[in-house]
Structure 1
């Protein structure tokens, strides 16, 4: 295509405007459209496929056999066009037949065409068809050609939806009657009941082709100015203070609002002939298309922030500010959204916002971190919630289980309310023993510490009744920052955590990034290998990036002035890695002490997550002050089973004799060397599993704050000597079902299991 994307798109849009404004049937208009696009792009083939009755149908074509129109059909996911619709992404292929999804349709006569490019036709965030071009020569299409196709597809969606040629993508609400149970991803714990309220951040673009580009440009400039004022105000007025990770998130969010590259892309779209609203939507669609091609979850979260800002800008430029936050919540509400930015969540009345349900979302999403600080339960990955629930429907959200009930029956609602009441009573019971020590009936004192990653977690130690922080995940600060946190920023966080903890111990784990926790601002920190959990991450990365580790070491040492500093290194495979990491820290200690007072004492620990380290304990234990077992990673490495794979989630049990025997061997060897052992991970936070760990001699745990109460209640009802004798017998001759056997034993001995 000899022209620029903007010029090409403008030429096509001018012709499209005339076709759409003219009289005639929709089919006739589409026939004119494919001829127009083919001529403007110099394309041998241009075709439009539309989704009707859940099947993609060839609706119009220039270059393929006309007899195939309304005859060729593909299911979503079938063939190239079916793949585009099901995945909502672009395909640009020099040789179409090489793609694994290629499906040849002889009636089209397309066998002589090799190259293929297709873009989804999107209406209200849903793919309703495909616009495709083909050439006989094998070649990849240029970026300017793809951009022109995307712009044209966006304008086409207006014609197609207006003529009601496709399935009702514009209608929200498929199933509106009867109760529906849905499962999702547990993001923020908690239970709530409320009525469904749609966030509705999107504005439907009704006019796409502009008459006066300069007027559209001035509207965008004015909207940007107003949006930035809103963001500045929001950053200043955040209800829960200015300190902590959520504030850093808002600063990152503000950075996107001032991104001049974003402004330029919108202006380029206006140059192609689009209105201000359509230009913002066009750039937003491009962002979504890029997200489909990105595997890095952290980079995706940052792009979600940009989408949030796009929605805000769209509402301003269109004069439609009526999100649920602006119109106000009339009662207890459960908010439904495809995704949310942190700033949008902060706009809601916290007295009435009882929960959030997201079609997307993740544990590291900015909105998740802010919701946790607000105390609002959240579940994510609830597929198609926007079409299943209706405005005003009753919803029951259980963030503890990751479940949602839409339009519950009276019986289900009564049962849910009973569980909510029971949960509140249980919290009251746990609160009653909060100040009591975790001592077994026969006098064995356990240690219950918590896993943390936010400054607020340290401030809430009193609420959980924990003995301290057994694992502070320092990488959280790195994950939510737009750039590598400097030594001063790290120092302020570590100092704040230590001061909030008071006399209680805090164990800082050095940064565990890489693998599935990649940072977009750190080159080579992403691992594209097939098994990133076993790749270049954690201590392996830190020992290669010594400048990063030195900065963290100095920040920790300076923050712990006059206190005890406890540091542990993750993902150690062999003792030499621990020795190198400790030597690096000790060199920084000497540097700091020459200039200012250092910590009163420093304790070094190792995380045992890699099974190979268990074979080298005789070499490691004399050099460490404590040992922490990371049961999450250790289990998946022992069983060679990806813990994120749902097909394997129930196959390998923490109460497997193999796991318990392995952990017992570590415990026995460490106890003989006089080195304390602590379990860090979900295993220790489950009362039955914690009971089994006591049975093999492990009594130190670092768990989630919510698990402290249930595990403490279990410990105070347990006879440690009795369970140790029972577990020893079971491991000598394992039963067929260890979990059931231990559960039955606990019930017979009145052990308090949650």
Structure 2
């Protein structure tokens, strides 16, 4: 802002401050406001249009016909005023009639005026009115005048809100009318349906006071806020979790560049000099940035402007003292959470009764928050571009993560269709819930063990809710993912003990910590600091635990102490060679000996198992079999290794099918090799939670499934409809002579028997 603009804005704000402090009624204040602006800017016309019942109504004018006040009304997008409000943008025209959206209103007497400039009056990111000036002489307004108008518009926003000239319902209705229903596409991270209002993880700061009482005091507030923000950015840049090199470092360097940008700080200080509060000054500069962003076609530059938007929000939160997230403030209704990205610990802070879904601007299939959200049963849609320009706080949303879409401000017809689909889904869930006490036994008397996967303390309640046979996979790494530091042994022991007590006499299979690869921890990284090109097949799971044996020793001791007097089931992830199992078991043996030596209570029995995820292990099962009591097939990793297809790559997600002869023959071979050896074989993974795939697994000889809690009911229902001998015979035939599509053959098989599968 130039010195001329500062002086002009300060002069206007000084006079407006007197107007706002007067005891005149709202209309009289607006009448005075247009006179003040007209005089200060030497403008022949100054007019204010405000939102009323979804229309923009002329509320006050200097220079146009007074009889047009409260008579002239324009719809959203109609005329120049409607265009400004619709797009929340500034117009500066030397010849108004040349603009394609110009609309002549004869009752105003504006036909003699040629030049036109207008700015939106914004409240909580919604346009609630328009401030405009006009001249007879055709000319473009200089930057000084436009900046002064934009500053005045902020003051008007406060004035009209305090005077109740518009209400929030009008603003929301107007915003909905601006764009109507919109559909955004993204990437399905966790499937599911959800409806609720949009809640930003980092809430926007509502600026209540615009005009400063003490300019120097406001300047000091901004200086302190900048210092604190820069400390935060420097601290973030120095944290180990960002590693060395890569995108994180580039992002933080950009943040630092903006945080220390003198031009940004100068513009904010100039806005304060014009008479604005610290919050209003930051918002004033931010509004200008947003308007520039709408004109940028370069995606890289647009991303950089988004970074500046993030920093502006951070600065606003610091200067206003409103540092909490939406979780701190509490959810007041069913909500869909909006964030650029989110950590697992942040997600767990939200009220699970109110949190219905999550939408991320970024996010990946393997991010920590997705892993936790899947366990919580919260649908997540990621990589939704441009959502901040479309979704506003409080907007109603319909999230269909199954179809990778979100509908913003849906019409009534869309809401009704969605609710009907949701109702059918709930009816199915209710029917499945009724199967809680039903034992999964097939028509020919075969008992199928159906267990759940878990990883959080709260997940234990799902045992009783579903009537599951136990926990076939307890992911101990969740406690590590949501912790800022390595969880102490006492904390681990408490968690494992709580899980065992909650499970009662039902078994719990604890998988030792599976970190590394796609589940990196900030406090546990490569010694050389190098990132991995292919983390899924890199330094992860048991490989990490054996190299950092202190990690496994602490966990072994915690598990042994927690299971004192009980049976402990423990399995090791990503075992490739039998010696790896031996080394991991030796750690447990050492801790067991330590506890016995100190006369501590120990488990009455310990059953060891392995996760078969790497195909190579199948070639040495004869060597491993005598040493283990159970084996769990991890179909998620196994599939990507068999197909050399990264399961986190959306381009490859549809390139392989669980119901392929390759996978089914592999699983059948494992069952055959271990037959008669007294080893429990369980399939852990998403494959076992789908009805058609579960049927295929049963046909291949699998009798134990560990699945997501939501899938227990559907699988129980399936088991009761089939004869195991019948599907085994069919599967043997299919695997011996593979059909063109095993999936199609199975669909035909169930259809012939009247079995409906999802």
1:625 to 629, 640, 649: 629
* Number of the residue aligned with 1:653: 657
Q: How far apart are 1:203 and its partner, in Å? A: 4.3
In 2, are the aligned partners of 1:190 and 1:377 still within 8 Å (CA)? yes
User: Which ranges of structure 1 fall in alignment gaps of 5 or more residues?
Assistant: 1-15, 25-123, 127-157, 164-170, 225-261, 285-306
In 2, are the aligned partners of 1:452 and 1:473 still within 8 Å (CA)? yes
User: Counterparts of 2:456 and 2:577 in 1: how far apart (Å)?
Assistant: 30
Task: Report the TM-score, using the length of structure 1 for normalisation.
Answer: 0.62
Q: How far apart are 1:747 and its partner, in Å? A: 1.6
Q: How big is each residue's C-alpha offset from its partner over 1:630-675, in whole Å with a ceiling of 9 and x where there is no partner? A: 1111111111111111111111100110110011000111123221
In 2, are the aligned partners of 1:606 and 1:626 still within 8 Å (CA)? yes
In 2, are the aligned partners of 1:270 and 1:279 still within 8 Å (CA)? no
Q: How big is each residue's C-alpha offset from its partner over 1:95-124, in whole Å with a ceiling of 9 and x where there is no partner? A: xxxxxxxxxxxxxxxxxxxxxxxxxxxxx9
Q: How far apart are 1:708 and its partner, in Å? A: 0.8
In 2, are the aligned partners of 1:642 and 1:648 still within 8 Å (CA)? yes
2:458 to 453, 456, 461: 456
Q: How big is each residue's C-alpha offset from its partner over 1:601-651, in whole Å with a ceiling of 9 and x where there is no partner? A: 000001111111101111011111111111111111111111111111111
Alpha-carbon distance change, 570 to 367 in structure 1, aligned in 2, over 3 angstroms: closer
User: Counterparts of 1:308 and 1:503 in 2: how far apart (Å)?
Assistant: 51
In 2, are the aligned partners of 1:515 and 1:527 still within 8 Å (CA)? no
Q: How far apart are 1:381 and its partner, in Å? A: 2.9
- The CA RMSD measured in Å over matched residues stands at 4.7
In 2, are the aligned partners of 1:459 and 1:497 still within 8 Å (CA)? no
> 1:160-175 to 2 correspondence within 5 Å?
none
In 2, are the aligned partners of 1:470 and 1:506 still within 8 Å (CA)? yes
In 1, are the aligned partners of 2:5 and 2:148 still within 8 Å (CA)? no
Q: How far apart are 1:727 and its partner, in Å? A: 0.9
* Number of the residue aligned with 2:585: 582
Alpha-carbon distance change, 557 to 385 in structure 1, aligned in 2, over 3 angstroms: same
User: Which ranges of structure 2 fall in alignment gaps of 5 or more residues?
Assistant: 10-122, 126-145, 152-171, 230-254, 270-277, 287-308
In 2, are the aligned partners of 1:210 and 1:216 still within 8 Å (CA)? no
* Number of the residue aligned with 2:487: 485
2:505 to 503, 506, 514: 503
1:712 has 2:713 as partner = no
Alpha-carbon distance change, 351 to 543 in structure 1, aligned in 2, over 3 angstroms: closer
**Paired positions, count:** 542
* Number of the residue aligned with 2:272: none
In 2, are the aligned partners of 1:308 and 1:341 still within 8 Å (CA)? no
Alpha-carbon distance change, 610 to 321 in structure 1, aligned in 2, over 3 angstroms: closer
Q: How big is each residue's C-alpha offset from its partner over 1:395-444, in whole Å with a ceiling of 9 and x where there is no partner? A: 22235555322344555433322221111111111111111111111111
Alpha-carbon distance change, 464 to 533 in structure 1, aligned in 2, over 3 angstroms: same
In 1, are the aligned partners of 2:188 and 2:380 still within 8 Å (CA)? yes
Q: How big is each residue's C-alpha offset from its partner over 1:7-32, in whole Å with a ceiling of 9 and x where there is no partner? A: xxxxxxxxx865864899xxxxxxxx
> 1:224-303 to 2 correspondence within 5 Å?
none
Q: How far apart are 1:346 and its partner, in Å? A: 8.9
Alpha-carbon distance change, 392 to 590 in structure 1, aligned in 2, over 3 angstroms: closer
User: Counterparts of 2:206 and 2:690 in 1: how far apart (Å)?
Assistant: 47
User: Counterparts of 2:646 and 2:348 in 1: how far apart (Å)?
Assistant: 36
In 2, are the aligned partners of 1:438 and 1:446 still within 8 Å (CA)? yes
Q: What secondary structure is seen at the aligned counterpart in 2 of 1:672?
A: coil
Q: How far apart are 1:712 and its partner, in Å? A: 1.2
1:692 has 2:696 as partner = yes
User: Counterparts of 2:198 and 2:605 in 1: how far apart (Å)?
Assistant: 54
Q: What secondary structure is seen at the aligned counterpart in 1 of 2:675?
A: helix
* Number of the residue aligned with 1:433: 435
1:514 to 492, 513, 516: 516
1:598 to 598, 602, 607: 602
User: Counterparts of 1:677 and 1:343 in 2: how far apart (Å)?
Assistant: 33
Q: What secondary structure is seen at the aligned counterpart in 2 of 1:421?
A: helix
In 1, are the aligned partners of 2:375 and 2:455 still within 8 Å (CA)? no
> 1:161-560 to 2 correspondence within 5 Å?
177=179, 179-186=181-188, 190-196=192-198, 201-203=203-205, 215-216=220-221, 220=225, 314-315=316-317, 317-318=319-320, 334-338=336-340, 354-361=356-363, 377-389=379-391, 394-399=396-401, 402-408=404-410, 411-524=413-526, 528-560=531-563
Alpha-carbon distance change, 392 to 417 in structure 1, aligned in 2, over 3 angstroms: same
Alpha-carbon distance change, 687 to 585 in structure 1, aligned in 2, over 3 angstroms: same
Q: How far apart are 1:341 and its partner, in Å? A: 7.5
Q: Which has the larger radius of gyration?
A: 2
Q: How far apart are 1:581 and its partner, in Å? A: 0.7
User: Counterparts of 1:619 and 1:730 in 2: how far apart (Å)?
Assistant: 30
* Number of the residue aligned with 1:662: 666
User: Counterparts of 2:312 and 2:675 in 1: how far apart (Å)?
Assistant: 57
In 1, are the aligned partners of 2:188 and 2:404 still within 8 Å (CA)? yes
In 2, are the aligned partners of 1:514 and 1:527 still within 8 Å (CA)? no
Task: Report the TM-score, using the length of structure 2 for normalisation.
Answer: 0.62
Q: How far apart are 1:530 and its partner, in Å? A: 1.6
In 2, are the aligned partners of 1:189 and 1:377 still within 8 Å (CA)? yes
